[in-house]
Structure 1
Amino acid sequence: MSRDIKVKKGLDLRLKGEAEKTVVDAPRSKTFAIKPPDFHAVVPKMLIKKEGTKILAGEELFFSKYNEAVRFTSPVSGTLKEIVRGDKRRILEIVIEADSENSYKDYGKMNASSASSEEVKNRVFESGCGAFLKQRPYDIVANPEDEPKAIYVSAFNSAPLAADLDFILGDKKAAFQEGINALKKLTPGKVYLAVNKKVASNLTDIQGVELLTVSGPHPAGNVGVHIQNTDPINMGDRVWTVGAEDVSIIGNLFLTGQYRAERTIAVAGSASKEQDRKYYKTYIGANIEDLIGEVNDEQTRVISGDVYTGLRLSNKQYVSFYDNTLTLIPEGNNYRMFGWLPFTYNGIPSMSKTSLSWMFPNKKYEVDTNLNGEERALVVTGEMEEVMPLDVFPMQLLKACMTGNIEKMESLGIYEVIPEDFALIDYVNTSKLEAQEIIRLGLDLMITEVG
């Protein structure tokens, strides 16, 4: 069974530097890292503390202080090299010096279809695969004690230069199908799978899912759009979401008994070397320098993720846990004289009619990180509503989050959104507000006060 979702509101930002549809094996990184800040609201309690300790791939590194059942495991085998701490001894990175080949902890094979729901859930969370399950509302790692009303998987990332998830899964369909079989045991409801309607998907014959064929501008690929068009979240509801490649990792766990944290990363962006723009097979937490080499941080912005929601890193750091894309764009160190004058500069895409970019909808641009102005007063312009396909009032919700008004936040739909749903608003709003950060702070307030 399939259902069409057509998104009308949004914006496609066409950028130069797309990754070539070629998959290569990345050079094996000497070190890999798991970064606890990637798991929002998780306070890690280390199980392996001594540097120099030997670790198997899939062996437990730490668990959540607030829920011991939520465990996080090593993506590779090797030796614990360093636990990097920040302010107040907060753990920032757990760095592992990798072996030349992985040795895996054996969890034992299991047929997800014939196993009980409890057996499947225990296997998923004890192996560390529970980290792939994220809960809506709040966009945090799922609680194994919850029973989600539905699970959503999106194999369509509509963000600029984002990895083609359908392409990544081309040779992983058997593992992906077994992962879907496991997810079906975790919910009494449906498992939804979203694909891009405009391309011939490899995943339309996956069994046990309700297929969503999605079309329209970004954020058409966002899971929040799919949820609101199928089974909206109300107060008290729990919905889980899983990344497309992460489903195949879960499937491999059941097929092989091993936590194979394989990650395919697309290197893209106009500041990347043309010969580097490919898909690289590696493991979660790979070192960025081993993928792209030396980068001048003053001239190039290295982003783990896409240009809207990704995290700025240096090439000495590590790809974030959930990301399939590494984007490189020029730093915005140049300022345009009289850039506020209409029609003066048309080398950047804009929603404003004062730029001629609207006349060339298929043109691709080379953008930089320049904000083109500082933070200004929040005024009613209607531009936020033009790119918000969800049934919420974005400006009013942002104001409620800024003032900490919990009652208004609830009535305006805070349970239905996460920061990525406001990424386009970050880009288009003339007030230069950090909308994603405001929503994140609002969600954190809801976790604290409502739970």
Structure 2
Amino acid sequence: MNRTHSIVRGLDLPITNPPKQTVSDGPDVLQAALLGDDYVGMKPTMLVQVGDRVKRGQPVIQDKKNPGVILTSPVSGTVNAIHRGEKRRFLSMVFDVEGDESVEFEASGDDLHKLTPETVRRQLINSGLWTALRTRPYSKTPAVDSTPDSIFVTAIDTNPLAANPEVVVAQNHEKFVLGLHALSTLTKNNVYLCLAPNGDIRGDEVPNVQTEVFDGPHPAGLVGTHINMVNPVGPTKTHWHINYQDVIAIGTLFFDGTLDASRIIALAGPGVEDPRLIKTVIGANLGQLTTGQLNEGENRVISGSILSGRQSQEPVSFLGRFHLQVSVIREGDEREFLGWMAPGLKKFSITRAFASAMNPAQRVAFTTAAGGSRRSMVPIGTYERVMPLDILPTQLLRALIVGD
């Protein structure tokens, strides 16, 4: 039986140019990459060199700190560059896309009897899809011999400008369910399928899958909210989590024995000419992906949500491994004369400080402008108004500011 969790505190940012919820092919990309920042705590050993030819699904990086964990190439092609930063920190491995050669893995079709815990674990590790799983706490790739208390599947997205998961899952429902079956073998407890209310995504027929419905504003779609409300972590309790598109990729891996590195992402925001859902690949070059797609002017391209994503800049200007959207907003580098005196008809405030509060349905073309210089933090309950978790956000932020 489904359980519904109603969230009152939160905020849905009213930003302009949300995506049309229809999927189309994205622009061709000639490069893709693996990014170091996507893998917390990883110490990489390179298994290939610049100039080497690789297949999709071929191991290219091994994690020395997490023995057995490998990263595989998301595309077929040639290794173009390996970028490092200060103290030789790994930044990115870039591939030139050529052809469609792929490593073949063992296929089980829809025969669920072949999905034993040992088979699932081995195939996920060998294909590189083990890295689609992340731990809570710490958001690291789990050890290959570890077992979670439970697994959370995020099939709801309340980020601004996000794609509707139901649109994506509807195109791959059979493989989504097969992916849930595979995940259910990795834990003796529940796999929690987290959904939006009144949706069509189903997983109740899978053993050990418990459906949890979350209703309310953002962050109702974040895995941290789900874990906090359903089964909080503890000193001896670790959960794993995974997004719905990686569940589809796992289902594809076992169904036909190939690594599916495709992504359906939302390309949207005030800087996008035609906001919509597009099909691309993990690690796609964002410069190539957005060519001819943006409005005139200086724009900031963000891999991920405008709330938590990364700015696209060399040598990491690629779609993040766990990002399901590309957000584009205008660079807010103009100074506004006496802006504090204006009525704010086109500005947004949670405290209803502007005249725009008279039209709550109005969407706002947010920019990168911070709205002024750095100021003191005044505790007027703003953070508590949007924080659904049982913590003290003002006190926590003040402690972080002073480095306590």
* TM-score relative to the length of structure 1: 0.83
Tell me the equivalent position of 2:363: 364
Residue type at the aligned position of 1:104: S
Partner in structure 1 of residue 97 of structure 2: 98
Q: Is the 8 A contact 1:22 1:279 kept in 2?
A: yes
Which amino acid in structure 1 is aligned with residue 101 of structure 2? Answer: S
Where structure 1 has 5 or more consecutive residues not aligned to the other structure, the ranges are: 406-451
1:373 Cα deviation from its structure 2 partner: 2.2
Kept in 2: contact 1:105–1:258 (CA 8 A): yes
Partner deviation per Cα, 1:327-378 (whole Å, 9 max, x = no partner):
111111122223334x622312111232233332222111111111233233
Question: Structure 1's 222 and 113: CA in aligned 2 closer, same or farther, altered over 3 A?
Answer: farther
C-alpha deviation, 1:152, in angstroms: 0.7
The aligned residue for residue 247 of structure 1 is 247
Within a 5 Å distance, the mapping from 1:45-194 to structure 2 comes to: 45-49=45-49, 51-100=50-99, 102-110=100-108, 111=111, 113-194=113-194
Number of paired residues? 399
2:54–2:76 contact (8 Å) kept in structure 1: yes
Kindly tell me: are residues 358 and 188 of structure 1, through their superposed partners in 2, closer, same or farther at Cα, counting changes over 3 Å?
A: farther
Gaps of at least 5 residues in structure 2 are none
Amino acid at match of 1:169: V
CA contact (8 A) 1:179 1:248 kept: yes
Structure 2 vs 1, CA of residues 238 and 284 (structure 1 numbering), >3 Å: closer, same or farther?
Answer: same
Query: Which residue is 1:423 aligned to?
Result: none
Following superposition, the deviation at residue 204 of structure 1 comes to: 5.9
Structure with bigger helix share is: 1
Q: Which residue of 1 aligns with 2:302?
A: 303
Matched to 2:283, the amino acid is: G
Contact (CA 8 Å) 2:204, 2:211: kept in 1 or not?
Answer: no
Residue in 2 that maps onto 1:201: 200
Listed as ranges, the matches of 1:421-440 within 5 Å are none
What is the distance in 2 between the residues matched to 1:214 and 1:169?
18
Rounded to whole Å, the distance in 2 between the matches of 1:219 and 1:258 is: 34
3-state DSSP class of the match of 2:69? strand
User: Structure 2 vs 1, CA of residues 347 and 27 (structure 1 numbering), >3 Å: closer, same or farther?
Assistant: closer
The 8 Å contact of residues 36 and 92 in structure 2, kept in 1 or not, is answered as yes
Amino acid at match of 2:365: E
Q: Secondary structure at the match of 2:250?
A: helix
**SS state at 2:124 partner:** helix
Q: Deviations over 1:126-158 (max 9, x none)?
A: 211011101100122222232111111111111
- Letter paired with 1:54: R
Contact 1:180 1:247 in 2 (8 A): yes
- Provide the residue aligned with 1:290 in structure 2: 288
- Alpha-carbon spacing, 1:281–1:206, altered in 2? closer, same or farther (3 Å): farther
1:113 positional shift: 4.8
Equivalents in 2 of 1:163, 1:315: separation in Å? 26
- Once the two structures are TM-superposed, the CA of residue 112 in structure 1 deviates from its matched residue by 5.3
Give 1:385's aligned amino acid.
E
SS in 2 for 1:17: coil
- Give the corresponding residue for 2:373: 374
Paired with 1:403 and 1:234, the residues of 2 have a C-alpha distance of: 27
Query: SS in structure 2 opposite 1:340?
Result: helix
Higher RCO structure, 1 or 2 (CA under 8 Å, sep 6+) = 2
Query: Deviations 1:252-276 (Å, cap 9, x if unpaired)?
Result: 11111121111112110111112xx
Aligned-pair CA distance for 1:379: 3.4
Matches within 5 A, 1:271-420: 271-274=271-274, 277-293=275-291, 299-314=298-313, 317-341=317-341, 344-401=343-400
CA shift in 2, pair 1:206/1:244, >3 Å: farther
Q: Deviations over 1:86-117 (max 9, x none)?
A: 222222111111123x2111121145554331
